[in-house]
Structures are given as structure tokens and as C-alpha cells.
């Protein structure tokens, strides 16, 4: 299982990369492996305000439908439109081309796990 040290994580299996006051968000390698082959992704609307822990997207796979939660409070400033035609990017490159959304943060990031804590959670 790939868990990059430079990212932060949630107990709900999202990853976060902070870049200049924005958070890039996706699902972890553990999550995509648990889901199986992803066949559809429902993305949030750009411009929508979200609170930490709020369901903002859905991922459908050959096994199930799973909610994606906002890891932090903020405003959705971008979504990965490529997932509409290529939902399998979540399986093939969850930490790169498979990102889900960018949030402009309402405040400093809080309550996230570092890589070691996330690894302990899923092992």
C-alpha cells in the first residue's frame, strides 16, 4: 500500500496536499484498493461551500458506492473533470491524476493524520 509521507490523511481514507492556502483532495491507495474498479465519480460543484466531514462526492465501483467527505472546511475551487470520462484514474493514480477536488480553505488545516498515523489506522 502506497502512503506518501508528504501528504496528510483522514480516517475516512481521503488524502490532502496543502498548496498555497488550498487543499488538493483525493482518495487513498487503501481506499481505491478496497473499492475495486471505479466506474463512476460524482463530483461537487465548484463554488460550493463545504464543512469538514460533509459528504461532497460519490464514487461508484464494481463492488459498492462510497461517499467522499470534505476533510476540511472551505470552498470548492476546482474539480477533476477528467474523472467524468476516466473514473479509473482513481485506481491507476490516486495521488496524482486521480485527484478529486481543490478547496480554498476557511482556516488552518486541523485534525488530519500524518502518514505514520494513517498507516497505523489501516494496518
- Residue 21 pLDDT: 84
pLDDT confidence tier of residue 1, bands split at 50, 70 and 90: confident
- In this predicted structure, the answer to whether residue 109 has a pLDDT above a threshold of 90 is no
Q: Is the pLDDT of residue 97 over 90?
A: yes
Please list, residue by residue across 34-61, b when 16 or more beta carbons sit within 10 angstroms of its beta carbon and e when fewer do: ebeebeebebbeeeeebebeeebbebeb
pLDDT at 107: 87
> What pLDDT band is residue 41 in, cutting at 50, 70 and 90?
very high
Ramachandran sector of residue 13 (left: φ over 0; alpha: ψ -120 to 50; beta: rest): left
Q: Is the pLDDT of residue 78 over 90?
A: yes
pTM of the model: 0.93
| Secondary structure class of 116 (helix, strand, coil) | helix
The 10s digit of each residue's pLDDT in 26-36 is: 999 999 999 99
All domains in the chain, ordered by first residue = 13-108+118-122 (2.40.50.100)
Average pLDDT over residues 109-115: 93
What's the mean pLDDT in 89-100? 96
| Residue closest to 31 by CA, chosen among 74, 73, 71, 82 | 71
Amino acid at each position: 500500500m502506497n502512503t506518501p509521507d508528504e501528504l496528510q490523511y483522514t480516517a475516512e481514507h481521503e488524502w490532502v496536499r496543502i498548496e498555497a492556502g488550498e487543499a488538493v483532495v483525493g482518495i487513498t491507495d487503501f481506499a481505491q484498493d478496497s473499492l475495486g474498479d471505479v466506474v463512476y465519480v460524482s463530483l461537487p460543484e465548484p463554488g460550493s461551500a463545504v464543512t469538514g466531514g460533509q459528504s461532497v462526492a460519490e464514487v461508484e465501483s464494481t463492488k459498492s458506492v462510497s461517499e467522499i467527505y470534505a476533510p476540511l472546511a472551505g470552498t470548492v475551487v476546482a474539480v477533476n473533470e477528467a474523472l467524468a470520462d476516466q473514473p479509473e484514474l482513481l485506481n491507476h493514480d490516486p495521488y496524482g491524476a486521480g485527484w478529486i477536488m481543490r478547496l480554498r480553505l476557511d482556516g488552518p488545516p486541523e485534525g488530519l493524520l500524518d502518514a505514520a498515523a494513517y498507516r497505523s489506522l489501516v494496518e
